[in-house]
Amino acid sequence: MSPIDFLTDLLNPDLAFLPKALVVAVMSAAVCGVVGTHVVLRGMAFIGDAVAHAVFPGLAIAFAVSGNLALGGAIAGVITAVLVAVLSQNRRLKEDSVIAILFVAAFGIGIVVISAVPGYGGSLQHFLFGSIAGIPDSDLYMVAGTGIGILAAMFIFHQEFVAIGLDRDFARTQGIKVFRYDLLLYVLVTLAVVISVQTIGNILVLALLVAPAATARLLTDSLAAMMAIAPAIGAVSATVGLYISWSWDLPTGGTIVLVLTAAFLAAWLLSPRRGRRSRSIPATMATRRSQKRATPSTTAIRSGS
């Protein structure tokens, strides 16, 4: 399918779910790109994974009682985020241990709840891998409103997040309430995950948090530039992934993740300053310099013979 055909399908009123899926995918990828910047810089990938799975019991319970899936996932995720932030204050327990315990407990609750619902097999697949066909207008507005709120919070508390990410102890000496902002960041990660689950699924949503930001990290040392590049990479990858999945009838979530992975690998290989290429260029220059230094001696040997 050509891009023109894809555009035609987007404008086809009989395929109204397709443009909604594109808008949700782009918005959620952009929001995750911004939030994911702090996830990557603070080494919080495991936290993002735990929170991503922590929304699952909320989704399962909301589905079982015919409630709002996004609201159920948000409540479960926020509760888990609060528990992680609170229990991690006990320095006798490492943060990753607390996260692991809550992660498996939350996912276990979700599995038990959803298995008790008739016809859970198809529903489980929908939760885990996403679906572009069933996005209602209400979810579109929810994603837009929540996304704007997340971006506003990231902008308002940007300095505090950066200060804590650079040096937590120094941030405390400056009067910054580290626990409060840790909790806020966990909640923002949770909300970013919730608005992305519908399209990309519960299992693969971590890719939206980490891959765009990690790719941007290979391209720049500036935090401001990173926070601009990461959402752009996420949005473009979501668009390309949806186009490929629609053209070849592939799973949307998995395709978007593969496009994100391809972008990361391209940056890792081709980035002239931080990628694989950055290591080959100095080596090549060094070789050339050594050859130039060797040339006079070689000439002298030959003339002496």
Q: Which residue has the tokens 């911004």?
A: 34
By CB atoms closer than 10 A (0-12, 13-18, 19+), residue 127 is: buried
Q: Give CA–CA dist 255/208, Å, rounded.
A: 12
Of the two residues 298 and 151, the one the predictor is more confident about is 151
Q: Tell me the residue type at 155.
A: F
Q: Give the mean model confidence (pLDDT) for residues 41-45.
A: 80
Q: Which two tokens stand for residue 47?
A: 């936290």
Q: Report H helices in the chain.
A: 3-10, 17-41, 45-64, 69-87, 95-115, 120-129, 137-156, 158-166, 168-173, 178-200, 206-219, 223-248, 252-270, 276-304
Q: Which two tokens stand for residue 161?
A: 């997040």
Phi, psi of 174 (to 5 degrees): -90, 5
Return mean pLDDT, the chain.
80
Q: Which domains does the chain have, with CATH numbers?
A: 3-205 (1.10.3470.10)
Residue 127 banded pLDDT, cuts 50, 70, 90: low
Q: Collect contacts of 203-207 with beta carbons under 8 A, ≥24 apart.
A: 203/128, 203/129, 204/129, 204/130, 204/253, 204/254, 204/256, 204/257, 205/32, 205/52, 206/45, 206/48, 206/49, 206/52, 207/256, 207/257, 207/260, 207/261
Q: Is the pLDDT of residue 295 over 60?
A: no
Q: Give the mean model confidence (pLDDT) for residues 27-33.
A: 92
Q: Give the mean model confidence (pLDDT) for residues 35-53.
A: 80
Residue 300 banded pLDDT, cuts 50, 70, 90: very low
- State residue 302's pLDDT score: 41
pLDDT 10s digits, 92-116: 666 667 777 877 788 788 888 877 7
